[in-house]
Amino acid sequence: MLKAYSVVAHQWKPRYISGERESVKTHQETLKQWVRQTLDRTRPLIETDLQEMSWNLIAQIEADDAILDALDLRLASAAHLEALTTRYPPRRFDLAARHESLRTVVGNVVPPEPSGGDTTHVTVDLRGRELEPAASSDGAEPAYSFYSRLTGQPLVEVRLPGELSAFMLARTFQYKDEPWRFDMFGGSRLTRGRRKSARDIAAGRSASASVLPAVRYADSAPGSAFMELAQKLAPQREDWSRMQRALMEMVPPDHVVEGTLRLGWFEDVAGPQHPFRLQGPHHERIALCPNDGCGFLRWDVAMRIPVVREHIEAWEAVREARGDEAQQKLVDGQQPGFNTLPPQALMHFPRDEAALDEAREVMQRRLNGVDRHASQAVDCLTLYQLAVSGGYQGRRIRAVPSADDRLYLPTIPLPALRSCRAMCWWANRRTIRRTCCPLRPRRSLRPIRRT
């Protein structure tokens, strides 16, 4: 009942209650004062009756409008902090020693040592029930995460039951008979529940559930080893949304190297006077202006990453006709396939009858091909993809826009492009610039130029 009155007091605002603004605000303050006074009188009874479950209720009431800071404000209470850390001592790890163990000679990065960074990953619900146990429990190779490498702790994530709210974040849950919190870090996995692909919609499937990383409530106590790490990596409030990828991302162990690298940061400089100059294997200048957030890694450093080295060695061996079956299979798996035209690319087509007629012709040709090869009628998903992509299909390739005003295509065989002509366009900031391409256009598709 006290929690219900607290919610009513919080929502007693002019936007929801009719009447004079000052009168509504006065009534709201009266309700809040009554809730606080009642909490002070009944606190011992609540703590005895609800035990640790009372922490959520008391923290949310004491936080008032600062609901997102409820758990931290609760830790600011010396009595509560002492009771929490006495019953659940914060886990200890030597961050300085872990950091020192990662140091190497500059540029001499190495793969992680065996079992270094192995992650025990568990997904739970808000009641602390395990939904997805660790992948390593069924014999799979554990993934690597920087979080486990530094802390040695399992990675626990909470599957959210629905849309995230401030009241959902301002609470703890019990897992392995300990209180945990999940308001420390966010990231891209938080928004999974809001993303549904066209395939999911056509199949009637719901979006994947959003998840948030969780940590022991005691580990977030001021002065703990975990908070020392968090303060170093995420000193600002906006870092909350970056930490899931920076610290808790899980990748295969052969995708990782550890060590010391020298980083260089350069301002955008136009033309050949850029201080960062790319060179080829024979020290020839590569006319590429590395602006707009480009990042590069030295060749010898990249070759120390096991998965990169494996792919490059396989590519070189197959190219020289000395590759084995495994290397050939690895290279074949990287061949670009056929893709539909991205819907946003249609905005570069001219808005005239000729473009519409061509799109109708392409879609009809695609539908005729589907009808001949399909055992059932064309489904809604196929019709949707044809409508948003104009029916166009092609090979996806990686091209490099160069500072010499040319667009360089890869040297892999592209028979489909040899038989037709193509026009390459690429966008640079606000303008769409035409670039030279070794392939002639089959049909001039003039983009809508932007000013």
- Could you report the per-residue pLDDT of 320-374, keeping only the tens digit for each? 889 898 888 888 877 666 777 778 888 888 888 888 888 888 888 888 776 665 5
The two three-digit tokens of residue 185, written as one number = 């870090």
Closest CA to 426 of 443, 451, 396, 447: 447
Query: Tell me, what amino acid is at 276?
Result: F
What pLDDT does residue 144 have?
Answer: 92
Whole-number average pLDDT of the chain: 76
> CB of 217 within 8 A of CB of 52?
no
Dihedral over alpha carbons 121, 125, 127, 133 (to 10 degrees): -30
Centroid of chain to Cα 327: 31
Looking at the predicted structure, is the pLDDT value of residue 281 above 60? yes
Instruction: Find the mean pLDDT for residues 269-282.
Output: 74
Q: CA 97, CA 90: separation in Å to the nearest integer?
A: 18
Strands 155-159 and 121-124: parallel
Phi first, then psi: give them for residue 131, nearest 5 degrees.
Answer: -105, -40
The two three-digit tokens of residue 55, written as one number = 């922490």
pTM here is 0.68
Q: Which residues of 379-416 are buried (b: 16+ CB within 10 A; e: fewer)?
A: eeeeeebbeebbbbeeeeeeeebebeebbbbeeeeeee
Q: CA 439, CA 416: separation in Å to the nearest integer?
A: 12
Render pLDDT for 194-218 as a digit per residue (tens, 0 to 9). Answer: 667 777 777 777 777 788 899 999 9
Dihedral over alpha carbons 302, 306, 307, 313 (to 10 degrees): 80
Phi first, then psi: give them for residue 5, nearest 5 degrees.
Answer: -65, -35
Question: How far is CA 24 from each of CA 5, 19, 64, rounded to the nearest angstrom?
Answer: 16, 7, 17
What pLDDT does residue 451 have?
Answer: 30
What percent of the chain is predicted at pLDDT more than 90? 14
Looking at the predicted structure, is the pLDDT value of residue 172 above 80? yes
For 273-301, the DSSP string reads T-SS--B-TTSPBP-----TT-----HHH
* Radius of gyration in angstroms for the set of CA atoms belonging to the chain, rounded to a whole number: 29
The two three-digit tokens of residue 210, written as one number = 């959003």
What pLDDT does residue 379 have?
Answer: 76
